[in-house]
């Protein structure tokens, strides 16, 4: 199991000195407002101009800016706490499933960008396991079995290759594993997996299972997960965010520079947790 993008952002926000802020909408649900009693400990206007993002529910991935905050709001005979008004209007009314987080200085897009830039910095070192059963042994127009196939996208190292047994969906390590001496990668614009037909007998219509590794992938949806050490990822993203605010001289810029250096030192101290030893044959160079 990996760490989802929204969790990385929620860990990152308090590390930026902004406090852990977020919650679950629990009333006054519309396309421009919602209540959250957990926010009701703050005074009126406290969250004005905060940036927000719904990280789950029907509005998952939707960002907004808080335009008004009321500690208490009364409509008729009903008094609610923590009323948030936001812009732009959501595509549908907010629901109790639309869990959100708030950030005072950094927009959600900045948080996500910093996380993805951190991932890109170690993409080819932070390998994760991958298994693909998408290839099927095929034949040509004359009925001859084909012994060369395009490597499925997203596979960067191949360690083992299996052919499905007579029982669909079953792969035996002893009986169905194809000796690594009997296949190789033909590299080029489109890498291909080649089998030696003098040493390997493929059976038409059976699946080929590829076991290998892939490079770390950038995250787009809030639910996308990464297997990169979350501690390293948060500190590296934090260093990048502080770096983005160093644009001149003065106390504010000096503070960002100091925090950047401290965060980078922490990230460097955890770098050993990120790198994963490659296994098998690299698909492309």
Q: What is the pLDDT at residue 194?
A: 97
DSSP H helical segments within 144-249, as ranges? 230-243
Q: What is the pLDDT at residue 20?
A: 65
Q: What is the pLDDT at residue 72?
A: 86
Q: What is the pLDDT at residue 129?
A: 96
Q: What is the pLDDT at residue 173?
A: 73
Q: 270 near 232, Cβ under 8 Å?
A: yes
Give the number of other CB atoms < 10 A from CB of residue 136.
12
E strands within 122-275? 128-136, 148-150, 157-163, 177-178, 183-186, 192-195, 207-214, 225-226
Residues 6+ apart with CB under 8 A from 226: 2, 3, 5, 8, 119, 216, 217, 219, 233
Walk along the chain (285 residues) in steps of 10 and give the mean pLDDT of each run. Answer: 93 84 90 94 94 96 96 76 95 97 94 98 96 96 96 96 90 85 95 96 96 96 96 97 85 87 97 95 92
139 in helix, strand or coil? Answer: strand
pTM of whole model > 0.85?
yes
């Amino acid at each position: 199991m990996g760490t989802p993008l929204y969790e990385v952002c929620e860990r990152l926000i308090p590390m930026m000195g902004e406090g852990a802020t977020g919650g679950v909408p629990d009333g006054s649900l519309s396309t421009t407002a919602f209540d959250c009693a957990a926010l009701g400990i703050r005074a009126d206007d406290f969250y004005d101009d905060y940036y927000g993002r719904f990280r789950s529910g029907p509005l998952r991935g939707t960002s907004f800016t808080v335009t008004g905050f009321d500690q208490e709001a009364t409509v008729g005979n009903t008094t609610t706490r923590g009323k948030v008004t936001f812009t732009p209007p959501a595509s549908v009314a907010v629901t109790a499933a639309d869990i959100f987080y708030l950030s005072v200085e950094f927009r959600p897009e900045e948080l996500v960008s910093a996380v993805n830039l951190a991932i890109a910095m170690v993409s080819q070192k932070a390998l994760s396991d991958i298994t693909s059963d998408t290839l099927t042994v095929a034949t040509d127009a004359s009925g001859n079995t084909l012994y060369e196939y395009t490597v499925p996208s997203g596979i960067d190292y191949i360690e083992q290759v299996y052919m499905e047994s007579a029982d669909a969906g079953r792969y035996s390590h002893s009986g169905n594993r194809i000796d690594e001496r009997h296949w190789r990668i033909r590299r080029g614009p489109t890498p291909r997996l080649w089998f030696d037909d003098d040493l390997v007998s493929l059976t038409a219509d059976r699946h080929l299972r590829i076991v290998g590794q892939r490079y770390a992938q950038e995250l787009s949806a809030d639910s996308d997960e990464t297997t990169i050490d979350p501690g390293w990822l948060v500190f590296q993203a934090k260093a990048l965010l502080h770096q983005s605010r160093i644009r001149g001289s003065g106390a504010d810029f000096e503070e960002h520079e100091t925090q950047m250096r401290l965060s980078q030192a922490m990230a460097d101290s955890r770098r050993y947790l990120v790198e994963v030893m490659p296994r098998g044959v690299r698909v492309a160079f």
